[in-house]
Structure 1
Amino acid sequence: MTRRRVVLLLPGQGAQRVRMAAGLHGVQPEFTRWMDEMFTVFGADGDRLRDVWLDPGSAGAVDEAVVAQPLLFAVGHALGRAVRSAAGAPDVLLGHSVGELVAACLADVFAPAELATAMAGHVRRLDDTGRGGMLAVAATAEELSAELRTGAVVAADNGPRQTVLAGSDSVLAAVRGQLERRDITLRTLGSGHAFHSPAMVPAARRFGQDLGRLRPGPPRATIMSTRTARPVSAEEAVDPAFWADQISLPVRYWPALRSLLDSEGLDPGLVLLDASADRSLAVAARGHRAVLRGPSSVHPLLARSDRAGTAADAEAFAAAVAVLHSGT
């Protein structure tokens, strides 16, 4: 019987939560080691990031890009290392937004400390570049044609009827009004910037210059790109612009995940590990026939949002690792 491949799903901006994965700190050795190392790498910002991460009252601060992105990077990377230490390296890495940078580190394209430093410097320099916001909308892009004519753009395709729009604050205010009149469910994502839109092109260029000073190498694991919805090639991996430009381009998360589920989900099946603190990365997969009626399965690595940062994090992680050891 062919073994099911393990896919690690890594979150990006919008999935950050207060005390996300903090229940593993001081409990899971590999997770703790890498989180502490990242806080050191972040230098003068490390202490503040640690304080915000551990503070149960940090709801406002954790949504700031200068906080959310380094923390999402650090937590995602530490979780990936913890999974590798506890049950072996995942076969496929699939990251959403900043999660794709985490995947690049876990696949040894970049040295973790070097990329973390470049990424943290990049978000500090965002300032007013691409100021705006993002809306998660329960509709397809085709159903949002009127809203897209206002200047909003599709920032992410997260699943069937799971579309994220990005734009300036004024544009999104108009879009919100239109959607509410149409009785379409929506949710504001904590971002402060119109990520994955043309407004971020100047920031992408600066980030590309930063990454050009690093030494990327070919991936040592399969990275399913949410920029192209296919595996990252060796040529793409060593191109700094490939990684930098994704912040100004739409995230094709669902096309990438659906491609895996369509090709391997029914035979032999996939084990999907959801590293998001809100368990959002596997929502679309749960409705796919490979999970509904096939041999594929979904396993959260962290507790539900309402129990984030508690002992429930360690319980969820242990349960997922047990599945990997059992092979079921």
Structure 2
Amino acid sequence: MSRPIAFMFPGVGDHYAGMGHGLYQTEPVFRSFVDQCTALLSGHLGEDLREVFHPAGTARGGPSLAELLGRRDGTDNGRRPAAVDRTLFAQPLVFTIEYALARQLMSWGITPSAMVGYSLGEYVAACLAGVMSLEDTVALVARRAELIETVPPGAMLVVLLGEDELAERLDDELWLAAVNGPMLCVAAGTPDAVRRLEARLTEDGVANLRTPTRHAFHSAMMAPLSEPLEQLLHTVELHPPTTPFLSNVTGTWITDEEATGPAYWARHLRQTVRLHAGLGELWRLPSVIAVEVGAGTMLGSLAATHPGRPGGDPPVFATLPGASDTQHDLAALLTVAEKLRRLGVPVTTPHADERDDHGLLAGR
């Protein structure tokens, strides 16, 4: 019997110009879903987002998001931000790449038994689980991103403290945005409040890192969007999930009532992301294999180091290279597919000798 697969979908933050460009060039399935999503999105945003995300001359191994923004410390250093950093474009594009990547894996027989998405990533999970149609999800993601850009600027700070310790340092302009680990949380709030917190933490010797965002996601600064989001959700047909996925809001498996309730998705944007609790639930699944479906290794790293991880070495795989990784997209994906095949997953990729004309799998 095949081991269960859990798809993990990142949110924004590790995305970069050229993400998935190699797969778009070589994989018809991936390309067809990217084209489908971007065609739907262009009707909402008035842009062909393939041009925004894959500008001329951008390919794998190109500049990272931080380099495009001239960043070294989480600020834009006075330079004009790149289009991929705008919420209006970044969120729909991250959804598109992750959705198309999941469909590519599924076309090879790598099918999830469970899923978890981080922030925006939960929309990918919900769409794949049949809670929302692709057309409705794309419209929701686009409108949600558009609404976010109407709220005042905010900031977010990753902090190496536990939830209770960080909560003691928050004021009425700061909120607990995410609990990613026992000693890894995210604070969100007004730019001034985050700067003050950053300075106090640095003075106290507490490691912290500003995130490359201009909004305070998962905080009370998103509260004004709850009503318009809920109204929008009332126009969408919602269904119970056909594949279980973990809720950011509760940190456990989403219920049918939550998944089909517009109020849940309105809360989802402003409430704390309970990833650490969710990963604990994920590791309760017997012999589960976790596959990060998106750029980088953030979720995979958190899953691999989670204290609830079973004994031994449960496999955690990442499917798409990070911004600073020069590995070809297809090489990364085929390497994961081969490792899954060796673990007994019935993967049906094309033969390596038909796909390795350029030595993509050398040394795998």
Do they superpose with TM above 0.5? Answer: yes
Instruction: Please say if residues 87 and 325 of structure 1, whose CA atoms lie closer than 8 Å, have aligned partners that are also in contact.
Output: no
Partner of 1:256: 278
Distance in 2 (CA, whole Å) between partners of 1:36 and 1:202 is: 33
Task: Please tell me the residue identity of whatever aligns with 1:302.
Answer: L
State the percentage of identical aligned residues: 28
Aligned residues: 321
Partner of 1:312: 328
Structure 1 pair 233–291 and aligned structure 2 pair: CA distance change class (3 A):
closer
What stretches of structure 2 of length at least 5 have no aligned partner? Answer: 70-80, 345-364
CA RMSD of aligned residues (A): 2.1
1:297 aligns with 2:315: yes
Q: How far 1:290 moved relative to its partner? A: 6.7
Instruction: Please say if residues 179 and 275 of structure 2, whose CA atoms lie closer than 8 Å, have aligned partners that are also in contact.
Output: yes
Task: Please tell me the residue identity of whatever aligns with 2:315.
Answer: S
What stretches of structure 1 of length at least 5 have no aligned partner? Answer: none
Partner of 1:281: 299
Partner of 2:52: 52
Partner of 1:126: 148
Instruction: Please say if residues 270 and 295 of structure 1, whose CA atoms lie closer than 8 Å, have aligned partners that are also in contact.
Output: no
Partner of 1:10: 9
Instruction: Please say if residues 133 and 168 of structure 1, whose CA atoms lie closer than 8 Å, have aligned partners that are also in contact.
Output: yes
- Of 89-98 and 129-138, more deviation after overlay is shown by 129-138
Q: Pick one of 165, 190, 198 that aligns with 2:212.
A: 190
Task: Please tell me the residue identity of whatever aligns with 2:53.
Answer: W
Q: How far 1:64 moved relative to its partner? A: 1.7
Larger Rg: 2
Distance in 1 (CA, whole Å) between partners of 2:42 and 2:252 is: 35
Q: Pick one of 210, 214, 219 that aligns with 2:232.
A: 210
Provide Cα deviations, 1:269-306, integer angstroms capped at 9, x if missing partner: 22110123121011122224676842521111011321
Instruction: Please say if residues 156 and 187 of structure 2, whose CA atoms lie closer than 8 Å, have aligned partners that are also in contact.
Output: yes
Q: How far 1:184 moved relative to its partner? A: 2.1
Q: TM-score, normalised by structure 2?
A: 0.82
Q: How far 1:31 moved relative to its partner? A: 1.4
Q: How far 1:311 moved relative to its partner? A: 5.6
Task: Please tell me the residue identity of whatever aligns with 1:325.
Answer: R
Distance in 1 (CA, whole Å) between partners of 2:250 and 2:190 is: 26
Structure 1 pair 148–290 and aligned structure 2 pair: CA distance change class (3 A):
closer
Instruction: Please say if residues 87 and 149 of structure 2, whose CA atoms lie closer than 8 Å, have aligned partners that are also in contact.
Output: no
Task: Please tell me the residue identity of whatever aligns with 1:282.
Answer: G
Instruction: Please say if residues 152 and 172 of structure 1, whose CA atoms lie closer than 8 Å, have aligned partners that are also in contact.
Output: yes
Q: Pick one of 274, 281, 290 that aligns with 1:272.
A: 290
Matches within 5 A, 1:38-187: 38-43=37-42, 45=45, 47-55=47-55, 56=58, 58-59=68-69, 60-61=81-82, 62-149=84-171, 151-187=173-209
The DSSP-based 3-state class of the residue aligned with 2:317 is strand
Instruction: Please say if residues 291 and 297 of structure 1, whose CA atoms lie closer than 8 Å, have aligned partners that are also in contact.
Output: no
Distance in 1 (CA, whole Å) between partners of 2:271 and 2:12 is: 14
Q: How far 1:46 moved relative to its partner? A: 6.2
Task: Please tell me the residue identity of whatever aligns with 1:224.
Answer: L
1:29 aligns with 2:28: yes
Structure 1 pair 198–324 and aligned structure 2 pair: CA distance change class (3 A):
same
Distance in 2 (CA, whole Å) between partners of 1:274 and 1:214 is: 28
